[in-house]
A = this chain, B = another copy of it.
């Protein structure tokens, strides 16, 4: 074992234990004593690597965001896009995100579940989605009889729930889940669409 490895090892052990516990019991339900116990260390060791309970929580989220952002670059939707490609791109973007989620299921659960985390980022995500929808309302790909904000909220809610239940709990493949999410989001549950009215 290299010299420089040991400290980082311990820090990682603590981080992983913390991720597990935050995911399972939430921030408040998780005690530092539990974390270090799971990591095989003492309480004092915790403060060698993190300045507080809050700070390890933030570090976990930041690491998660970083990974997320890397993959989110690809998710940018060009403004000029053909109808035929549209659904495919969405499908791919969703799949790409779900793949990261699947690789970090615990962190994902924290991210999607813990109020302390989402609130800040959620607004950003919401705005991004809403303006995207608004744009494609003008390109004619998205129906324009509904409010973009409401649609964005609907998307987010649907996406969160399906991620938690289908991807993380049932452990279905990102591809499958992405397909179904895309289908439902774009075309809804109904077999047939009423003609004419309102679109």
Residues of chain A at the chain B interface (Cβ within 8 Å): 26, 28-29, 83, 86-87, 113, 115, 133, 140-147, 149-151, 153-162, 165-166, 177, 180-181, 183-194, 198-199
Residue of B nearest to A192 (CB): B83
A158 surroundings in chain B (CB, below 8 A): 154-155, 157-158, 161
Kindly provide the distance from the CB of A164 to the nearest chain B CB, expressed in whole angstroms. 8
Kindly identify which residue among B145, B162, B187 contacts A193, using a CB–CB cutoff of 8 Å: B187
Asked if A190 meets B189 with Cβ closer than 8 Å, knowing A153-B166, A154-B158, the reply is: no
Q: List 30 A-B contacts (CB under 8 A).
A: A26-B28, A86-B190, A87-B190, A87-B194, A113-B115, A141-B190, A143-B187, A144-B191, A145-B183, A146-B183, A146-B184, A146-B189, A150-B165, A150-B166, A150-B184, A151-B189, A153-B166, A154-B158, A154-B161, A154-B180, A155-B189, A156-B161, A157-B160, A160-B161, A185-B188, A187-B187, A187-B193, A187-B194, A188-B188, A193-B193
Beta-carbon contact of A157 and B161 below 8 Å = yes
Extra contacts besides A146-B180, A153-B166, A183-B198 (6): CB < 8 Å? A142-B190, A151-B189, A155-B158, A157-B159, A184-B188, A185-B188
Report Cα–Cα, A57/B161, bound state, in Å: 24
Q: CA A183 – CA B189 in complex, angstroms?
A: 10
A115 and B180 contact, Cβ closer than 8 Å, known pairs A166-B150, A189-B186: no
Q: For A191, give its contact among B141, B156, B157, B190 (CB under 8 Å).
A: B141
Within 8 Å by CB of A150, from B28, B133, B162, lies: B162
Tell me the complex Cα distance, A112–B7, Å. Answer: 42
A155 to B188 alpha-carbon distance, docked (Å) = 10
A186: nearest chain-B partner, CB-CB: B190
Output the nearest chain B residue to A114 by Cβ-Cβ distance. B115
Give the residue of B28, B29, B141, B189 whose beta carbon is less than 8 angstroms from that of A143.
B189
